[in-house]
A and B are shown apart, each in its own frame.
Chain A
Amino acid sequence: MTGKTFVQKVLERASGRSGLVPGVIVEATPDFSYSHDYAAWAIDAFEKMGATRVHRPERIAVCFDHGIPPNTAKDANSLKRVREFVNQHGFAKFYEAGTGVAHQVMVEKGWIVPGSLSVCNDSHACSGGSVGALALAVGETEIGFLWAIDRLWFRVPTTRKMILSGRLRAGVYAKDLMLVIAQQLGVLGALYEILEFHGDAVAALSVSERFTLCNMATEVGAKGGVFPFDTVTAQYMQGRAQFPFTPVLPDPDAQYCAEMHFDLSTLEPMIALPGREDSGVPVSAVAGQHIDQVFIGSCTNARADDLHIAAAILKGRKVHPGIRLIVTPASRQAELEALRSGDIEALVEAGATLMPSGCGVCAGTHQGVVADGERCLSTSNRNMPGRMGNRNSEILLCSPATAAASALAGCIADPRQVG
C-alpha cells in the first residue's frame, strides 16, 4: 500500500471515496467557495439552470476586486446585481470593493482553512495553498452550478514534489524563487499537476511568501500549489480561522510524478522578460534597460511585508522622474498595516500613486494602462502581451525589491546595488 499525496487525501475526504488515483474523476462538495465581480456570470448560469435556491450560503463569500470602483454604468449595474443576489441568498460574507484582492482577503480573513477544499472562478484561486488548503480555480458556470447543485467534478491530479533547501540571500525573495521555478519548468511544465512544497527551507517561509509561490503555480500550468500544514500555518490561523479544520499532510511514501530541488542560497534577483512568465533572467543581465512604469501590486506581491521591502528602499528618496510608480496594496488590511508602520507614507513621499486595494493594473481592465511601446515592470504574476490592457506594451515581472530599486534608478536595477 503506497502512501497518498496531499491532494489525494483532500479529494478522498471531500468526495467520500477512497483509493483515488491520478486521472480518476470524482464528484465532491467544496468546503468553501468564493467569487468576485464575475459572480455576475455565475448568476447567469444559475438562472439559466432554472435554479432558485443557493445551497449552503453560509459557506460562500464574494469580494469585489477586478474593476473597482467601477468605471462605467454597465460595470456599476453588474456589481449592483451581484450585491442584490448575495443579500437575497444570505451569503456568509460580502466584501465591498476596496477590501482587497479576493484571494488575499479570503486567506487573510480565515475563510480558507488548512485541509479544506476551496474553489473560486479565477485562475489565481490556487493562492489558498499557502495555508495548506486545496484551493482550485473553476469556471463561472461551475460556480453557478455549485450554488444550485452543491457539488462539482474534479480530476485527481498527479503531484510534483518541490524540495526547497537553504536560505534566500539578502535582496532575494520568494518571487525570485518563483521566477526560477517558472524558468526551469516552462509555462506548460507542470500541466494539471499539484506542486507540493517540501524541504528544510519551507519553515523559514512566511504565509505571505508561500502565497507568492502558490499564486503563480498556475503560471507553470499547474492545477495548484500547496505548502502542507506546519507551525507557520498553525500560527497564522490562530484567531483567524472561520471554520474548524483538520490539517492534511501527505504521507512520507506518497507517489510523485516528479521531484525538483532548489537551493535558495544560490538564487539571484530575477526578472521575467516580456511575453512569458518562464523567460526569467538574473536582474544583473538586464540592468540598465528602459522602463516607463513600475507597478507594486496584485495578489502575488503587495502584502504588508512586500510594501515594507519597497518602502525600505524608497524611504527618504524620490522615484526617478522618468518613472510612474503605482502602488496597489493587496488588501485594505495590508494597507492599514503599511500606513501604521509608516511604509505608505514613505512610498507616497517618494512619489508613488496609491490606488485602492484590488486587482488594479494587473487585471488589465481598469486603470494604469501603459502606452504603445512602453514597458511596465511589475510585481504581479502575468506578462503575456495585452495582460495589462495594451498588446503593444511590454510587461516584466520581478520582486517588490527589484521594482522599488528600479523605480529609484529609472531603469532596471539590482536591489542589492541600492544602499
Chain B
Amino acid sequence: MPSTGVVASIRGTAAVLGDHVSADVVLPARHSFLKPEQMAENVLMDLGPEANRKVRAHSIIVAGVAFGYGTGRESPSRALHAAGVRAVIAKSFSRLFFRNAINNGIAVIQCPELAQMPVQDGDEIVISLAEGRVQWKDKSLRIAPVTDVVAQIVAAGSLINYGRQLLASGVTQS
C-alpha cells in the first residue's frame, strides 16, 4: 500500500444550500486565478454575503440536486477548499464537479436522504467514509463507502499532492 494517509471520518458543521447551485455560482470564471485566501472571500458571493459567511464558518455543505453543474473549471473546487470546506453532501452532483472536488481535496457524498431532512446551518455532521455512514442528530444514514483512493486524495489535499506522495514513496502500484 502507498504510504499515504487515509481520512477515516470527517466531522464538521453544516452550511445548508439549496438545489441547482452551479459551479459558476460557487466561483465565477473571473476569480479563477486569485490566491486561495481571495478565492475564499469570493466563494458563493453570487448567492450573497450570508452564503459566503456560512461556508467559511462550516466545513460541510449540505445541498440539493445538481450541485456544481455548469463549468468544468477546477477553480470553484479550489475555492471551496480554500474556504475550509472538507465535504459536500447533496442529492446529486454534476460529474465534472464531483471529480474536480475530490481531486482538490473535498469529499463528495451523494446522500438524498440527508438532503431531504431539516438540517440547519451549524448542525453537527459526522461522515464515516470507510463505513459508508452519515450521522446527523439521531439519524445514521447509509452512503456508498468511500474508496481508499478517494480518502487518500482528500487526506493529501489534492490529486497533485497525492501523486507527489506516491512518486516520493516509490510505490505507484495500487
Contacts and interface: CB of A to CB of B under 8 A. Distances in A.
Nearest to B91: A191
A153 B167 contact: no
B167 A223 contact: no
Interface stretch (A42-50, A61-69, A234-242): A42-50
Contact of B150 (A45, A49, A50, A153): A153
B99 A142 contact: yes
B147 A123 contact: no
Contacts of A188: 20, 65-66, 69, 94
Contacts of B149: 25, 27, 153
Interface string B137-174: 00000001011011001000001100110111000101
A153 B147 CA distance: 9
Contacts of B92: 191-192
Given A153-B149, A188-B69, A191-B94, A139 B164 contact: no
Interface string B91-115: 0111110111011000000100000
A50 B69 contact: no
Contact of A123 (B69, B74, B96, B172): B96
A201 interface: no
A381 to B, nearest CB: 14
Interface residues of B, number: 32
Contact of B99 (A27, A45, A50, A138): A138
B72 A139 contact: yes
Contact of B72 (A48, A137, A148, A223): A137
Contacts of B94: 188, 191-192, 221
A149 interface: yes
B147 A24 contact: yes
B163 A49 contact: yes
Given A23-B110, A139-B74, A155-B98, A148 B93 contact: no
A389 B66 CA distance: 26
A318 interface: no
Nearest to A223: B95
Interface in A123-158: 123, 137-139, 141-142, 144-145, 148-151, 153, 155, 157
B102 to A, nearest CB: 8
A203 B128 CA distance: 48
A185 interface: no
B18 to A, nearest CB: 14
A279 to B, nearest CB: 16
Interface in A260-291: none
Nearest to A189: B66
A141 B167 contact: no
B144 A23 contact: yes
A149 B95 contact: no
B163 A139 contact: no
Contact of A151 (B66, B167, B174): B174
